[in-house]
Amino acid sequence: MSLRLQARKLACERDDRWLFHDLDLDLCAGEIVRVEGPNGSGKTTLLKILSGQLADYRGELFWRGAPMRRVRRDFLANLLYLGHAPGVKAALTALENLAWYQALAGASGDEDDRLAALETVGLAGFEDLPTGQLSAGQQRRVALARLELMPRPLWVLDEPFTAIDREGVAALEARLEAHTRRGGCVLVTTHHALRASSALRSVRLGEGGAGVER
């Protein structure tokens, strides 16, 4: 069965307030779904629920047609999640950070791949510096290098454009589209206007709690 993440009647309540309810979402191969909404409308919460991190919700999640609880490991093996915090260790170099991520995926990986990934995100020459000495944008790029490095079909990206410069944003947008052309899919939150593309859909949160899919 092909790549497919479905949410049925998803609802989440925080502090006596519905962030969203009755939210139906279908994420198929070759799609970019953008979650929009004002600050505090529950975008990050929705992404965390859809990436299997939060259990505090109502409704059902299906991964490739099977309930998420049963296929969690299979789901995680296909998921690449980038959160608010870049997940980059300041005391480790960019290469060491990437090596750990590769190993977490179960592959020992090789140095050339990591160097190539860092070069793609524009960090050639910064491989051996502790990432704590890099700028916020460069640290974010170290995290983004994981997109190049690990062949995971489902990307869940929470504000990936934060602290990235204009060229970097264009490159990342192109990267997202290239990913969907290869049959991957992307779930992304951003306040940045994404380039219009046939693969792009939007989900809007907020507005009294109901999630509307367009």
The residues that touch another protein, with contacts defined as CB under 8 A, are 2-3, 51-56, 73-74, 76-79, 81, 83-92, 96, 99-110, 113, 116, 130, 151-153, 179, 182-184
Which one, 24 or 74, has the nearer CB to another protein?
Answer: 74
Nearest approach, Cβ of 208 to another protein (angstroms)?
26
Nearest approach, Cβ of 43 to another protein (angstroms)?
16
User: Alpha-carbon distance 180 to 184, whole Å?
Assistant: 5
Which one, 150 or 205, has the nearer CB to another protein?
Answer: 150
Nearest approach, Cβ of 61 to another protein (angstroms)?
15
Partners of residue 201 on adjacent β-strands = 33
User: Alpha-carbon distance 76 to 29, whole Å?
Assistant: 16
User: Alpha-carbon distance 66 to 57, whole Å?
Assistant: 18
Which one, 14 or 38, has the nearer CB to another protein?
Answer: 14
